[in-house]
Amino acid sequence: PMKKLIFNDTKKSFSYQESIKICYEVINHNYENFPIYMFFLNKDIMNDFASIYAFSRGVDFIGDELKSNEVSEGLRVWKSELDLAFNGNPSNPIFIALSKTIRKYKLEITPFKRLIKANEMDQSITKYNSWKDIFLYCDHSANPVGEIVLKILGYTEKSNVEFSNKICTALQITNFIQDIKIDHDKNRTYIPQSLLEKHDLDFSIINTVNKNNNNFLIKFDNLIFDLARENQKLYDEGRNLIKNISKKHAIIINIFILSGQTILDKIKNQKSNILFNKPRTNKFEKLYIIMKATALVLIKR
């Protein structure tokens, strides 16, 4: 169903209403750590977020889920429709919805291109040596989404973009940690090789590890400690963004931060158990995150 949703080849022309409906179907079809529906947002801005999400999730699906011989054609379609969304008449409903958002906020094409570039990098790069390399990847795979969201909310100051980048990189790294096993199955490791060497860890056996492999699990616990510490630093630095924006917008950003923080806290508690039970947030936790994010902003400001 996801493939059909993002490559809608019905040859019909879609209205904006039909197109935005498909963007919401993409949302409904995917699990995220954070709540995507924010009921306190007005419908128009929620539609804009839906079109951005559908674009981003679509390009990730192409890079991660398509068969290897379909990826380059999928990315070509995405690039071509993106150009049309900025300069012509796109035919893909996700891009028809996106083109309205682009015009409304005078968005630039560069962040969107960087998101596509991240998925091109995934086709040839399977390992990253250092944190610096990981951060460069995140600057393509995650930070552009924050830049686009900030622009939609009306903030373009360099310092705010830098704080946003810290938050987006933090969210991405939390994702990398919780998906270590899934990514390994795709022959990718988004954990610095220097850290694996430091902890003398060989990920090639990760799929056969069970709860009796004490030696591996102790080393893995120590790896998690290092990963979580670096990850936590990014959330703590990124949080400064909340002080610089309106209360309503601070709540939105805080929801993203607390969603990532909730998963990171689960990772810190579970340590090597994440290999056997991937940490997730359920609907009740997501509702609690929205309430907590709201309360923190209203009380502390």
β-partners of residue 127 are 189
- Given a contact cutoff of 8 angstroms between Cβ atoms, the answer to whether 221 and 270 are in contact is no
Indicate whether 40 pLDDT > 70: no
DSSP state of 74: H
Task: Note the pLDDT tens digit of each residue in 284-295.
Answer: 999 899 899 999
Q: Residue 123 and residue 91: Cα distance in Å, rounded?
A: 26
- Cα–Cα dist 280/178, whole Å: 9
Length of the chain as a residue count: 301
Q: Distances in Å between the alpha carbon of 131 and those of 128, 173, 193, 231, 249? A: 8, 10, 9, 11, 30
Looking at residue 55, its pLDDT comes to 97
The tokens for 206 are 């990760």
**Amino acid identity, residue 54?**
A
In this structure, of 28-37, 48-57, 78-87, 109-118, the range with the lowest mean pLDDT score is: 28-37
State yes or no: pLDDT of 35 exceeds 90: no
Identify the three-state secondary structure at position 13: coil
Q: Is the pLDDT of residue 301 over 60?
A: no
Tens-place pLDDT, residues 102-133: 999 999 999 999 999 999 999 999 999 999 99
**CA–CA distance from 138 to each of 122, 135, 186, 301 (Å)?**
12, 5, 18, 31
Helix extents (H) in the chain: 2-6, 16-28, 43-65, 68-87, 93-105, 110-124, 131-141, 143-153, 158-178, 180-185, 193-198, 214-238, 247-270, 283-300
Contacts of 232 (CB under 8 A, 6+ apart): 264
Give 129-154 pLDDT, tens digit per residue: 999 999 999 999 999 999 999 999 99
Encoded amino acid at 137, one letter: Y
Q: 113: closest CA among 137, 135, 83?
A: 83
Instruction: Report the distance separating Cα 143 and Cα 149, nearest Å.
Output: 10
pLDDT at 232 over 60: yes
Q: Which pLDDT score is estimated for 8?
A: 83
- The answer to whether residue 39 scores a pLDDT higher than 80 is no
Which residue reads 């300069």 in tokens?
87
**pTM of structure:** 0.94
CA 196 to chain centre: 24
Query: How many Cβ atoms sit within 10 Å of the Cβ of residue 176?
Result: 21
> What does the pLDDT read at residue 1?
83
